[in-house]
Structure 1
Amino acid sequence: MGSAQLALSYGQAYVAPDRRYHRSSMSVTLPQDGQLNAKGACAVISDSTRRNAMAKQAGDLSVRGFLADYYSTPDHWDVKTSATRVLRALNGWCFSQSQCVTDGSYVSSLSAMVYRGRSAHLFHLGDTLVFRLRGAEFEQLSRDHVADLGGYRYPSRALGMDVSIEIDYVQFPIKQGDIFLFTTQAVMGTLMPSEYVQLIRQDASDLNAASDRLAAAAVQRAQARGYGAEQFCFQLVRIDELPDEQPDHPGRAYGDLPIPPELSLGDRLDGLEIEAVLSRTAQSRVYRVRDVQTGREMVMKAPSPELSTRNAYLEHFLLQQWVVERVKSPFVVRIMESSRPRRYLYYLMAYIEGENLAGWARRHPQASLVQRLDIANQLGKAVQALHHRDLLHQQIHPSNVMIDRHGQVVLTDFSACRMREGGNQNESRELARQVGLTEHSAPEYALDDGVGRRSDQYSLASTVYWLLTGEPPYELAPNQLRSHTDLEQLVYRSARTRNPEVTLALDEALRRALDPQRALRYRRMSEFRHALRQSVTGESGVRRPGHRILRDPASFWQGVAGILLLLLVLTWLLR
């Protein structure tokens, strides 16, 4: 006889004269066995303000976005880590999008409850309402975060309201028969706690009918008291069955797989034949493999066999596959699926038929400035794709940039990649150090300073500088810094002195992006990429079809003066 699984039922009711203009949204997700054990079931409700012209978009997007991203997080993350990171990323997106619209905003209150094993986890922002009915006890689990402005009550600490958020979180045990009610501030002042209990218990076997009874009673009470009842929603969730015991750690499906042994040419693992050993480092092994069943060539990355006891790195290794899966860009390497189940800990990536940037530069010493800047632009797009998903790469250098046979740039190796979170800058920096700093690493990694997107901007600019000149931008490599006083030794060496084709505008763009002080670099990656493009299209010193390069302006004007003098002499002789 198999062990019991978590089982729940739910019902919903919505009151709105025109669903096209509603401002609330709700949903329940009950996944299949594997994901149910790893991530649990989830119930969400959101609500935007009545005076928000984009209330419908804000409410719908927050619910869909949370559910989609939560179930896409790595299985080895616990519930709190997964939901918190998703809410922070969703908040950042909603806040940034609100700055781009003039009519309305993407601000909304949100309550999400995750049921996993024999526990529930509540995440709450704003003024949506969550209650628990256990027996005859009806208890509010959420806290109201509201502000009174000019006689109107507005939610505070809501999703998308500020660049950072404070999330209410509580975990508590659940019992079979518990019923949870999700609703919005609009129902406040309509029904009493005893009425909620009576209406739900009247026939608790049909939660849709119970939700309808709540909605009808709330509308009737609101109309009797003379205020609007145009926007009510109710969602009921009942715990029907609990699992026998708390499921294993959610990462067991992958985290407990053994690390592959040292592999050599011709060895086979899970139906994958080793065709070449691409890299052996202290942290990982990288192989080119061929699926013997499909014939596909792929790249396998596995932890180093010596790391079997270093759980911190292994946890991050599990994150790497999720990072690559999350970013959809032609300039970022993509994850591949094997034709057979995995029996060892590794992941597969698309094989790029080409060479890394260092090899390309050696084989193309005569490449034009325009060709090199095209590579820089593609690499900038790859880094931006990561930043749009709130990820830092932290290891941008020529060996991690591939160029395929068609000239397309593909960013690889996510050994140091991490979510960008304000409170975890130390962890990001320490991970980059563990993987290994390079001459293209930003100075802040060596000096215990804060790291962020501008740190990736520095590494990108340093790689572009090297691509244009073949040398680093500073005599002292930033990874050799020992104290902040050493920053004075970082004197920028003009790229124009090493490559005459580099224009003044391009040199200035590189200098700013390579400033030792992180705060003095470009605020956004898009600004740096725009400066690189302008240095090509807006300067006469770069070769373009139909234009000549003025390498020596002084000689040019001396020639013009000589011709004019000759014409003057000829005019005088022919008089």
Structure 2
Amino acid sequence: MASAQLSLSYGQAFVAPDRRHHRSSMSVRFPEPALLNAKGASALISDSTSRNAIAKQAGDLSVRGFLADYYSTPDHWDVKTSATRVLRALNGWCYSQSQFVAEGSFVSSLSAMVYRCREAHLFHLGDTLVFRLRGAEFEQLTRDHVTDLGGYRYPSRALGMDVSIDIDYVQVPLKQGDIFLFTTQAVLGTLMPSEYVQLIRQDASDLNAACDRLAEAAVQRAQSRGYGAEQFCFQLVRIDELPDEQPDMPGRPYGDLPIPPELSPGDRLDGLEVQAVLSRTAQSRVYRVRDAHTEREMVMKAPSPELSTRNAYLEHFLLQQWVVERVKSPFVVRIMEPSRPRRYLYYLMAYVEGETLAEWARRHPQASLVQRLDIANQLGKAVQALHHRDLLHQQIHPGNVLIDRHGQVVLTDFSACRMRDGSNHKAARELARQVGLTEHSAPEYALDDEIGRRSDQYSLASTVYWLLTGELPYELTPNRLRSHTDLEQLVYRSARTRNPEVTPAMDEALRRALDPQRSLRFRRMSEFRHALRQPAGAARGDAQGGRRRDTAHFWQGVAGILLLLLVLSWLLR
């Protein structure tokens, strides 16, 4: 006899004179069985303020963004870890994008409930409302986070309101027949708890009809009391069936897949034939492979067979594919899906036919300043793409940068890549150390200081400095620092003394991005990229200006000689 699976029903009702200008959004997702077992079903509601000019976009984006990212998180993450990381990343994006909006912001309240196995996990931000109806008991599960300003109630602790967020998390056991109501602050002052129970129970078999009854009753009550009745939304979710028992919980760090054995050209694994060994390190193996079914050439990355099961890098390896999948940029290598199920622990990337930046520099010693700055600009875009998804690369150096046949830069190797988490600097720093610090690593990695986006900025600037001069910016490489007193030995060596084409403005931009003190570097990567672009134009402008000045001087000289000849001709008459 087959065991029972989680099953639920839902209904929705929306009241708005113009759906194009609504400020609330709601959704339910019930995925296919495999994803349901790993991630569960989810129901969400979001709401933005009526005074927000882009309320509709803020509400819709928060719901769509959560659903898209939550179901893309690694299977071995539990519900709390997955949802919390997704909400923090989504909050960072909303907060940063609000800085570019003249009127309005990407701020919204959000309540997301994930139903997995026999439990519900509620994540709450702001002032949206979630109630549970169990029998005759009607209980509010969320807390209202609001602030009164000038007679208006504004949500506080909402998504996108601040650079960091405080998420309410509640875990509740499920019972068959539980009904959850999702709604917004607009209903306050309309219906009483007993009326909610009566209207829902009137015919609980049709949840859409129940939502319609709630909406109609709320509108009538609001109109009779002189309230605004333009924006109401109701969403009901009922637990129809629960699984017989808890399945295996996610969270086993390495899953059930074994590490691949040592491979050589000609060997096959899951229908993938090894064409060449690209890299062998203490942590990983990288192979160029060919899919026998699709005939595609790809790059396979697998953990080293020598790693123990307690190795921190092995735990992080499972996250690398997910990390790279989040980034959509032509300057960051793409993840490829295998044509058949994997029997071993590895992931696949697009094969880029090209050479590393180190190889390119050796083969093009006479490359112009414009060519080198173009590479630097592309690499900056790649790092920015990671930062926009709240990711740190932590291993930017010439060996991890590929240049294809068309001169396009592709950033590879995400062994030390990690989500930026302001409260967990130590874990990110230790991961970078285990993978291995390089001569381009920022000083804070060696000195146990806080790390962040400016640490990547340092590595990028060090790589650009090397690209322009062929040398390093400091005589003592930062990865060899032993104490903070050693920072005094980091005296910047001007790039202009090693490459006269480097302009003073460009040299100053490099010096600032390479400052040993993280707080003194550029605040944003875009500022550094802008500072590097400006000198290129200035250099061309100086050259053109110099040519114009030389031409002007020539004709001034000719005019002077003609004037002198004219004066002499008058005097000799």
Q: TM-score, normalised by structure 2?
A: 0.94
| Residue 231 of structure 2: aligned partner | 231
Cα pair distance change 1:482/1:76, threshold 3 Å: same
- Greater Cα offset, 14-23 or 172-181: 14-23
Match of 1:534, SS state, is helix
How far has the Cα of 1:254 moved from its partner?
7.4
Q: Is 1:469 aligned to residue 444 of structure 2? A: no
| Residue 245 of structure 1: aligned partner | 245
How far has the Cα of 1:421 moved from its partner?
1.7
Amino acid at match of 1:460: L
Match of 1:212, SS state, is helix
- Greater Cα offset, 342-351 or 99-108: 99-108
| Residue 82 of structure 1: aligned partner | 82
5 Å matches for 1:64-463?
64-250=64-250, 255-310=255-310, 312-463=312-463
CA contact (8 A) 1:541 1:549 kept: no
- Greater Cα offset, 286-295 or 139-148: 286-295
- Greater Cα offset, 339-348 or 218-227: 218-227
How far has the Cα of 1:258 moved from its partner?
0.7
How far has the Cα of 1:251 moved from its partner?
6.0
- Greater Cα offset, 420-429 or 95-104: 95-104
Tell me how far apart the structure 2 counterparts of residues 249 and 301 of structure 1 sit (CA, whole Å): 27
How far has the Cα of 1:313 moved from its partner?
2.3
Tell me how far apart the structure 2 counterparts of residues 365 and 199 of structure 1 sit (CA, whole Å): 78
Tell me how far apart the structure 1 counterparts of residues 537 and 203 of structure 2 sit (CA, whole Å): 72
Could you tell me which runs of 5 or more consecutive residues in structure 1 were left unpaired when the two chains were aligned: none
What do the CA deviations read for 1:369-423 (whole angstroms, capped 9, x no partner)?
Answer: 1111111111111111111111110000000001111111110000000111211
Tell me how far apart the structure 1 counterparts of residues 509 and 226 of structure 2 sit (CA, whole Å): 64
Match of 2:403, SS state, is strand
Tell me how far apart the structure 1 counterparts of residues 482 and 362 of structure 2 sit (CA, whole Å): 32
Cα pair distance change 1:227/1:535, threshold 3 Å: same
Amino acid at match of 1:263: L
CA contact (8 A) 2:275 2:290 kept: yes
- Greater Cα offset, 357-366 or 92-101: 92-101
CA contact (8 A) 1:505 1:539 kept: no
CA contact (8 A) 1:394 1:455 kept: yes
Amino acid at match of 1:37: N
CA contact (8 A) 2:298 2:351 kept: yes
Amino acid at match of 1:79: V
What do the CA deviations read for 1:49-89 (whole angstroms, capped 9, x no partner)?
Answer: 12222221211111111111111222221111111111112
Amino acid at match of 1:319: L
| Residue 49 of structure 1: aligned partner | 49
CA contact (8 A) 1:146 1:154 kept: yes
Tell me how far apart the structure 2 counterparts of residues 460 and 4 of structure 1 sit (CA, whole Å): 54
- Number of equivalences: 568
Cα pair distance change 1:397/1:444, threshold 3 Å: same
How far has the Cα of 1:36 moved from its partner?
0.6
CA contact (8 A) 1:396 1:459 kept: yes
What do the CA deviations read for 1:428-479 (whole angstroms, capped 9, x no partner)?
Answer: 1111111111000011111111111111111011001111111110000000
Tell me how far apart the structure 2 counterparts of residues 349 and 202 of structure 1 sit (CA, whole Å): 55
Tell me how far apart the structure 1 counterparts of residues 30 and 171 of structure 2 sit (CA, whole Å): 19
Could you tell me which runs of 5 or more consecutive residues in structure 2 were left unpaired when the two chains were aligned: none
Tell me how far apart the structure 2 counterparts of residues 204 and 152 of structure 1 sit (CA, whole Å): 36
CA contact (8 A) 1:540 1:549 kept: no
Tell me how far apart the structure 1 counterparts of residues 545 and 372 of structure 2 sit (CA, whole Å): 19
Match of 2:488, SS state, is helix
Tell me how far apart the structure 2 counterparts of residues 549 and 525 of structure 1 sit (CA, whole Å): 34
Match of 1:13, SS state, is strand
Tell me how far apart the structure 1 counterparts of residues 450 and 259 of structure 2 sit (CA, whole Å): 33
Match of 1:120, SS state, is strand
How far has the Cα of 1:205 moved from its partner?
1.0
Q: How high is the sequence identity, in percent, across the aligned residues?
A: 85
- Greater Cα offset, 141-150 or 187-196: 187-196
- Greater Cα offset, 125-134 or 58-67: 58-67
What do the CA deviations read for 1:260-316 (whole angstroms, capped 9, x no partner)?
Answer: 011112111011111111111111111111112222211100011122412532231
Tell me how far apart the structure 2 counterparts of residues 500 and 253 of structure 1 sit (CA, whole Å): 52
Q: TM-score, normalised by structure 1?
A: 0.94
Tell me how far apart the structure 2 counterparts of residues 357 and 96 of structure 1 sit (CA, whole Å): 32
How far has the Cα of 1:139 moved from its partner?
0.7
CA contact (8 A) 1:503 1:541 kept: no
Amino acid at match of 1:96: S
CA contact (8 A) 2:313 2:434 kept: no
